[in-house]
Amino acid sequence: MKTTFRWFGRDDDSVSLEHIRQIPGIDGVVGALFDIPVGEVWPESRIMELKEEINRNGMSLEVIESVNVHEDIKLGLPSREIYIENYKQTIRNLAKAGVKVICYNFMPIFDWTRSNLAKELPDGSTVLAYEKGKIESIEAMVLIEQMENSSNGYSLPGWEPERLKSIKHLFQLYKDVTEEDLFDHLQYFLEQVIPIAEECDIKMAIHPDDPPWSVFGLPRIVLSKENLERIVKLIDSPSNGLTICSGSLGANPNNDILDILGHFLKLKRVPFVHIRNIKIAANGDFEETSHRSTERGTLDLYEIVKKLHEHDFNGYFRPDHGRMIWGEKARPGYGLYDRALGMMYILGIWDSLEKNKKSMKKGAGKNVAIN
């Protein structure tokens, strides 16, 4: 299992590479070029600059999150051909830098959605939270404004101003797009890019919709095990993979995370995993918590890590959103302290499982010798 930590770049992140490298066990950084407009080619020179900066700090750049998919591709417009060709070239350029996994999503208009970016918990920390009633009663433009005002001055991935400035027009375009249409458009996209990914030894890893249900009446198609099964069957290739995000899928109690994770690990279609915990309320609201399973979280992270260990997972994982603790001022969900604590909790579980495995093998060997 390869450990990674998401980083938004020297000019747009409160966390530095110098900080990240001090977290024990870190292998690499999950990076991206966030200033390149969605749909444009990522220049090879810029990718190499990012890689070299990360390498100088003793870490690798083998996972990108995200090369965002242009709305025209999701909508199936004739102009998608231009953006698909650009996407192909970006894949080629990333491969030259040694990138192995590209995380992306296929959510219309919005990426992840929350109603509160700083809900205070009883211990005084703050977290991202989703309150269904607020989302269902608020207008999209008002939510966008609230998100921007609560971002602590940092950009929010998936909420890029240049993309959302045409929000009313985008909603009009999606008015008649069904889930089946969106599946068709995803299949067309994958049919074009997966052969390039195969040539480049890169695994595409689609991220689940967050949360895993329709928001503002928009179609969503990455919600469940059934959806994920359909997606991996659209193009039967190891390069057509999944990002299993415990918090995104886990927000719906009907999603059995352990079953989903085990199933697709067995199929070898999980190159990337996001590990975080959430607390789900009886009415379906949820808030993010510390990674530790026995405190407030609904999900059992011990069992999630155990499932990865049982399948000898050799892909990439990162601790996902953390609380804001100890007075830290950072991009909501992406401070240093709580994500570093989460990394240590996850690696502590993994190390214990590894030690038990070695002890059992050693014990089995002794028994054989005695007999």
Catalytic residues: 207, 245, 274, 320-321, 334
Ordered DSSP codes for 59-82: -EEEEEE--PPPHHHHHT-TTHHH
Query: What is the rounded distance in angstroms from the CA atom of residue 354 to the CA atom of residue 340?
Result: 21
214 cis-preceded (ω within 30 degrees of 0): no
Q: Please, are residues 285 and 131 in contact by the beta-carbon 8 Å criterion? A: yes
Query: What is the rounded distance in angstroms from the CA atom of residue 355 to the CA atom of residue 335?
Result: 31
Instruction: Report which residue type is found at 316.
Output: Y
Integer CA distances (angstroms), 208 to 127, 156, 200, in order: 20, 18, 24
Query: What is the rounded distance in angstroms from the CA atom of residue 356 to the CA atom of residue 350?
Result: 10
Closest CA to 291 of 337, 222, 356, 355: 337
Token pair in block for residue 59: 């870490």
Query: What is the rounded distance in angstroms from the CA atom of residue 320 to the CA atom of residue 339?
Result: 7
Q: Helix crossing, 179-199 with 80-96: angle to 10°?
A: 40
Strand partners, 101: 63, 203
Instruction: Report which residue type is found at 353.
Output: L
Instruction: Report which residue type is found at 305.
Output: V
Closest CA to 338 of 285, 277, 279: 277
211 cis-preceded (ω within 30 degrees of 0): yes
First to last CA, the chain: 35
Token pair in block for residue 74: 């999701």
Q: Please, are residues 17 and 53 in contact by the beta-carbon 8 Å criterion? A: yes
Query: What is the rounded distance in angstroms from the CA atom of residue 163 to the CA atom of residue 161?
Result: 5
Instruction: Report which residue type is found at 105.
Output: N
Query: What is the rounded distance in angstroms from the CA atom of residue 9 to the CA atom of residue 4?
Result: 15
